[in-house]
Structure 1
């Protein structure tokens, strides 16, 4: 069964996330479970997530899902804008609600951290060679 598309391609927040995510070496985009997924060999970010509340899913359409080291994830979970996404939360992923007024430098840092955990040594070396990080 194909998942329905659960995002608006004209969403300006998605456009900004897409621009940042695709700037990483060898990064590409695909649709996974109805939402944009940014990946190299492995996915390093998703746009859009959900949480399960009383047996129903509550959507967080304008959010970024990233994989972080446990200490960083724990620190961010104390913030109201952050959540453990359904399905991926138990595997180290964190959801961060975004909006037009988001701190885009922070979003880029979160993408960078997640990319470094998933992209492999060669791609991380290419990232560092560009003077990023």
Structure 2
């Protein structure tokens, strides 16, 4: 499966997630309003990655522990967003957890509750 298609499937699997281009790249929104994941296909460098919302401290710990896979993205990195390289071996189970974490950072409580339903 194509990397973009895999990312798309995970993002659109979140409750009331939508996709539309933003800054020329596929971007995923909660209720078509707030961004939780942005695709970056050589957008600011020669790498393929995503930028995503992250809980406090996650960006710093992952970038410090594994800079081959994680980075501080431009423009949104100062707000704690996490960059994840997709042009290296990706741990898709971990990536799925990161997408859900990004969604939880942005989504309202009513939608987060839907993730927690049995």
Same fold per TM (> 0.5)?
Answer: yes
Structure with greater Cα Rg: 1
Give structure 1 regions of 4+ aligned residues with deviation exceeding 6 angstroms: none
Aligned to 2:99: 111
Q: 2: distance between equivalents of 1:95 and 1:18?
A: 16
Q: 2: distance between equivalents of 1:92 and 1:50?
A: 21
- Per-residue CA deviation, residues 56-101 of structure 1 (Å, 9 max, x unaligned), is x4242x2121111222211101112211111111122111101474
Q: For structure 1, which segment, 77-86 or 105-114, has the greater mean C-alpha deviation from structure 2 after superposition?
A: 77-86
Contact 1:49 1:65 in 2 (8 A): no
Aligned to 1:85: 73
Gaps of 5+ in 1: 1-10, 52-56
Q: TM-score, normalised by structure 2?
A: 0.86
Q: TM-score, normalised by structure 1?
A: 0.77
Deviation at 1:112, TM superposition (A): 0.5
Q: 2: distance between equivalents of 1:94 and 1:115?
A: 13
Contact 2:57 2:80 in 1 (8 A): no
Are residues 95 and 50 of structure 1, via their aligned partners in 2, closer, same or farther at CA, if it must alter by over 3 Å?
Answer: farther
Cα RMSD of the aligned pairs, angstroms, is 2.0
Aligned to 1:7: none
Please point out which of 74, 83, 87 is paired with 1:95: 83
Aligned to 2:45: 58
